[in-house]
Amino acid sequence: MSEATIFRLRIKGAVQGVGFRDWAIREAAMRGLAGWVRNRSDGSVELMMAGADDKVQDMLRACTAGPPLAQVTDIDIRNETEPPPAGFVRKPTL
């Protein structure tokens, strides 16, 4: 995936048990993004996404709210250099 913007997010707040991972998979698919999402044992959700900069930025804005039942309080954002495999998948909890 050349010329891709790649971010890894750590999303904190009331983000587990509210459908965040399924929501993220749908939202990423609508934007044509590659990556993955998983719950973390500390209660956060981790998400890696790669794609066209405008689509990644749009997904980032969407993640600030998340699905209807989520209450996002903070997002840590890191740039990544290694692109994920094609598609957007759910990974096991870490």
21: annotated active-site residue? yes
Q: 57-93, pLDDT tens digit by residue?
A: 999 999 999 999 999 999 999 999 988 888 999 999 9
Annotation marks residue 79 as catalytic: no
In a domain, residue 40? The reply is yes
At 91, give phi and psi (nearest 5°). -105, 160
List pLDDT tens digits, range 5-52: 999 999 999 999 999 999 999 999 999 999 999 999 999 999 999 999
| Interatomic CA distance for residues 26 and 88, integer angstroms | 9
In a domain, 94, yes or no: no
Predicted pLDDT of residue 90: 97
Number of independent structural domains in the chain: 1
Q: What is the crossing angle of helices 53-63 and 20-31, to 10°? A: 160
Active-site position among 21, 26, 78, 90: 21
**Which residue range is the domain that position 77 belongs to?**
5-81
Question: Is residue 86 included in any domain, yes or no?
Answer: no
Measured CA to CA in angstroms, residue 57 lies from 3, 38, 40, 50, 67 at distances of 14, 20, 23, 10, 17
Closest C-alpha among 87, 80, 93 to residue 44: 93
Examine residue 63 and state whether it is found in any structural domain, yes or no.
Answer: yes
CATH no. for residue 21? 3.30.70.100
Candidates 8, 31, 38, 39; catalytic one: 39
Give the model's pLDDT for residue 2.
Answer: 54
